Amino acid sequence: MLMAVLRRLWQTVFVLFGISALVFTVFFATPGADPTARIAGKNASPQTMQKVRQEYGFDRPLPVQYAIMMKKLFITQDLASYADRGELVVPEITRAAPVTVSLVCGAAVIWVVLSIAMGTLAAALKGSWIDRTLMMLGLIGISIPVFWLGQVANLITQNRYHDTWLFSWVPALGYVPLTQNPWGWFKALVIPWVVLAVLFIGVYSRVLRADLVALSGEDFIRTARAKGLSPARILIRHGLRTAMVTFVSLFGMDFAQLVGGGALLTEVVFGLPGVGRLTYQALTNLDLPLIMATVMYSAVFVVLANAAVDMIYLLLDPRVRDAR
């Protein structure tokens, strides 16, 4: 198992290197495009253009340019946005990341708990009205666009019914840091958590229910029944553990994608200054250094989450462990 872990870590390092090289090539080594003008921004003075060209080594070979860019991004962390008055991009992402992580972690707790409960209950009562109702609710959750649901939530809690006893506690749109006011942090995020989690509750509960139903005919489930184990124990201890392999795979990739900026719509609707909203602003302003930094930030999270999922596979499924 140790060799499998080390092999996966090496693959992770190799993939991150490949992604960084690809991102650099797309943004700064495209034939016919001047990266100096892209970074300096529109209507930049000749002095600014010369400063950018020397600072980033654009008058030197591509490998040197790549090394300078990665050094500025990951080591010295002084990659600057000339489109934003020379603001350093790494501190910007560092300030935005806790907002996104807070949003995604809270939503993840909600969708994991509810989807496991709904999927397991639906599988246990397969074919009943409870099963059909839960799966119908899941389908409705999948079908509702997150930005529409967020706007409806704001209309109800921030406008029409804000003065009622039910929603008078809801604060204005925005983010409150956890370290400054934990209760304010919770109140500011609880509705965005629910809105973001609705889609994933529907997806995960339906996937888990389908896996549990499919596993009910497997040999190890029939063997457990022959031993006289109770249906609840068979479902939870044997079926659920095996079905969680698919669940964990979906969760790892979705969580990483959301933390990497995939929660953009939720952040914009609720006025949360997270990574997704920062990326949107960078794309609007054509802020090349900030765009590259946010893309790399997202890629690192996705690759590391994929590696973490592989490690969890080794614990959940002995067949994967033995194959490695």
Residue with tokens 């029409």: 160
Look over the chain and give the mean of its residue pLDDT values, rounded to a whole number: 83
pLDDT at 224 over 90: no
Q: Can you say how many angstroms the Cα of residue 317 is from the centroid of all Cα atoms in its chain?
A: 24
Contact criterion met (CB below 8 Å) for 304 and 257:
no
- Label residue 177 left, alpha or beta by phi (over 0 means left) and psi (-120 to 50 means alpha): beta
Contact criterion met (CB below 8 Å) for 115 and 204:
yes
How sure is the predictor about 150, in pLDDT bands with cuts at 50, 70 and 90? very high
pLDDT of residue 203: 92
3-50 pLDDT, tens digit each: 766 777 787 788 888 888 888 888 777 666 667 777 776 677 788 788
Measured from the Cβ of residue 151, the count of other Cβ atoms closer than 10 Å reads: 14
pLDDT at 277 over 80: yes
pLDDT at 136 over 90: yes
What is the share, in percent, of the chain residues with pLDDT greater than 90? 25
Please compute the mean of the pLDDT values over residues 95-107 and round it to a whole number. 92
Apex CA 243: angle with CA 241 and CA 248, to 5°? 90
Nearest to 308 by CA among 116, 93, 275, 316: 316
How sure is the predictor about 57, in pLDDT bands with cuts at 50, 70 and 90? confident
pLDDT at 286 over 60: yes
pLDDT of residue 289: 82
Please compute the mean of the pLDDT values over residues 223-228 and round it to a whole number. 77
What is the share, in percent, of the chain residues with pLDDT greater than 70? 91
pLDDT of residue 317: 59
pLDDT of residue 183: 94
Apex CA 194: angle with CA 132 and CA 136, to 5°? 10
Span between the terminal Cα atoms of the chain, in Å: 7
pLDDT of residue 185: 95
Contact criterion met (CB below 8 Å) for 133 and 141:
no
Lowest mean pLDDT among 143-152, 200-209, 249-258, 298-307: 298-307
pLDDT of residue 300: 81
How sure is the predictor about 237, in pLDDT bands with cuts at 50, 70 and 90? confident
Please compute the mean of the pLDDT values over residues 106-120 and round it to a whole number. 94
Query: Rounded to two decimals, what is the model's pTM?
Result: 0.83
